[in-house]
Amino acid sequence: MIQIQPVFNDKENWLAYAKKRTLKYEILEFSSAYLNQDIASEQFEWYAGTGLAASVHGVFMDNCPLSPDGVIREASIRRCRESCRQALRVGAKNVVFHSTALPFVRGGLEVLWGLDAAEFYEPLAEEYDLNIFIENFNDVDYVPLLNMMKHVNGDRVKVCLDIGHANYSRHPIAEWFEALGDHIGYLHVSDNDGRWDDHKVLGTGTVDFSAADAFYRKKGGNIPLTIEVHSLDELDASIRFLEKNRLFGFGE
């Protein structure tokens, strides 16, 4: 299932493109831009009416639901619940949250984070009848996410592997797929030069898409995959790159 991240202010053009290409939506806008203001009901109603809203990117700005600081934890959990309710309002079944593991801390804290993450996200997924995917973000390696999955018992919580983020980690993208394997249930696809999270047009950076393509094919295309770019023009250029290189089922 190929997804895009639409822009509500240009909703009709994004909708026309999505229908033309048979694409679904992962709604990113709810995650950060509106944290300090109400989201208009018309936005929820419009997205729900399209029938394309398969996923919602959950809150991530300053979000830390596993914080040892009770005040930060309480506020973050409230925001996570808001993201889940937003998903239900638009008819989405998937919510993506960023990993909050501290990237340069070990000494057992990576194990504790994994346990805490599993104990928080599994009940949250059950409560809202959603699938929750935890995305590598600041993660320099896959160890915290792997520790989380060791404590996950069901199928409601899995990993969203962002190959753009993996591209500036300490390990090649292929190693992330090898280490996490079937714990991966969702993909974010973007491009960069291995230094910053640039979200370049696909094919204009240094990301190697081969491991992600192989994994997606192994899954028969039956997992969500989101193309992350900034504009419709960049999206079209990225899809033309995928078609040319026969990646993720495009051009076949």
Residue 242 — very low, low, confident or very high, per pLDDT cuts 50/70/90? very high
pLDDT at 207: 96
**Does 37 score more than 70 pLDDT?**
no
Average pLDDT over residues 55-76: 90
pLDDT at 35: 57
Question: Pick from 211, 238, 167: which is nearest to 3 by CA?
Answer: 238
Contact partners, residue 245, CB within 8 Å, separation at least 6: 203, 209, 251
Give CA–CA dist 36/50, Å, rounded.
26
pTM score: 0.95
Classified as helix, coil or strand, 186 is strand
Give the strand pairing for 131-135 and 94-98: parallel
Q: Which residue do the tokens 């973000």 mark?
A: 137
